Amino acid sequence: MEEITHKELESFHKNGFLIIRGFYDQNEIEKIRSWVYDYADKKPEEWESGKEMAYFETSKNDGTRILARIENFSEHHEGFKNLMNSEKLMKCVESLLGNKAVLFKEKINFKKPGGGGFRPHQDQISRWETYAKDFLNILISTDDSNIENGCIELTPGFYKKELLGPVDSPIPEKWLKQMEFKPFPLKKGDVVLFDGYAPHQSQDNKSANSRSNVYLTYNSIYEGDQRTKYFTRKRKELPPDNERENDFKDSPLHDYK
> Residue 22 pLDDT more than 70?
yes
Residue type, 35: W
The mean pLDDT of the chain is 93
Q: Is residue 1 part of a domain?
A: no
Residues of the chain with pLDDT > 70, as a percent, come to 95
Q: Is residue 111 part of a domain?
A: yes
Q: Is residue 109 part of a domain?
A: yes
Q: Is residue 99 part of a domain?
A: yes
Q: Kindly report, residue by residue over 212-233, the tens digit of the pLDDT.
A: 999 999 999 999 999 999 999 9
The residue that leads in pLDDT, 246 or 74, is 74
Q: Whole-model pTM above 0.75? A: yes
Q: Is residue 163 part of a domain?
A: yes
DSSP 85: T
CA distance 149 to 207: 5
pLDDT at 159: 95
Look at the chain and report how many structural domains it folds into: 1
pLDDT at 2: 58
Q: What is the mean pLDDT of residues 77-100?
A: 96
Q: Is residue 178 part of a domain?
A: yes
Main-chain dihedrals φ then ψ at residue 242, nearest 5 degrees: -75, -5
> Residue 247 pLDDT more than 80?
no
CATH code for position 74: 2.60.120.620
Count the Cβ atoms, other than its own, within 10 Å of residue 137: 20
Main-chain dihedrals φ then ψ at residue 217, nearest 5 degrees: -125, 135
Closest CA relative to residue 171, chosen from 155, 151, 185: 155
CA distance 180 to 252: 24
CA distance 59 to 159: 32
Range of the domain at 174: 6-256
DSSP 80: H
> Residue 74 pLDDT more than 80?
yes
pLDDT at 169: 87
For 77, half-sphere exposure in the C-beta direction (CA atoms, 13 angstrom radius) is: 20
